[in-house]
Amino acid sequence: KVFGAGDVTSDGAVFDRLVQEGDTLMLGETPIGVLHTPGHTPACVTYLIDGAAYVGDTLFMPDYGTARADFPGGDAATLYRSIQKILALPPETRIFVGHDYLTDARDTHAWETTVAAQRAQNIHLRDGVTEAEFVARREARDATLPPPVLILPSLQVNIRAGDLPPPEADGRVYLRLPVTEA
């Protein structure tokens, strides 16, 4: 337990519904397919809606590459295999990314790409990049990245499905910051 007695287990009890690969959710008359795409974190999913893939943090715009795989439960090899499922979709499939980080070559934000563009241009795993090559590159890059500034508060809220931790005995809500290793 990183955060002490207030930790939440990852049994999923705080969520209204847990989904898994192959599930279909309905939004009115629109079916939403679920593709399990772990690697960045174990819980990452891609939603498939009307010829589009909403990939969250799994992929970024082709000039930026892929998500890091050094978060709790992340794994570069798993990320590679997950992305291969996305890249197996039809080439014209629109991909909507969850984040866009600008590069030196681009100064405007983007949020939409395609499977074909990812396969041809993704700097981390365009066609021809092997799993071993990707894993070596991803792990080397991740080793140089600092933790995101708000990772510890974010984790404490994310594992509770967006809720803050419960109040302590004094009635106040706290986000914890561990200062020593267990």
pLDDT in tens, the chain (182 residues): 566 655 555 567 778 888 999 999 999 999 999 999 999 999 899 999 999 999 999 999 999 999 999 988 899 999 999 999 999 999 999 999 999 999 999 999 999 999 999 999 999 999 999 999 999 999 999 999 998 888 888 888 888 888 898 899 999 999 988 787 66
What is the rounded CA–CA span in Å between residue 147 and residue 68? 10
Q: Contact at 8 Å (CB) between 91 and 54?
A: no
Enter the pTM of the model: 0.86
Q: Which CATH number fits domain 4-146: 3.60.15.10, 2.60.40.1080, 3.40.50.620, 3.40.30.10?
A: 3.60.15.10
Q: What is the domain partition of the chain in residue ranges?
A: 4-146
Phi, psi of 76 (to 5 degrees): -65, -40
Could you give the residue ranges of the DSSP H alpha helices within the chain?
76-87, 115-121, 131-144, 151-158
Phi, psi of 35 (to 5 degrees): -120, 115
Q: Contact at 8 Å (CB) between 70 and 142?
A: yes
- Determine the angle formed by the axes of helices 76-87 and 131-144, rounding to 10 degrees: 120
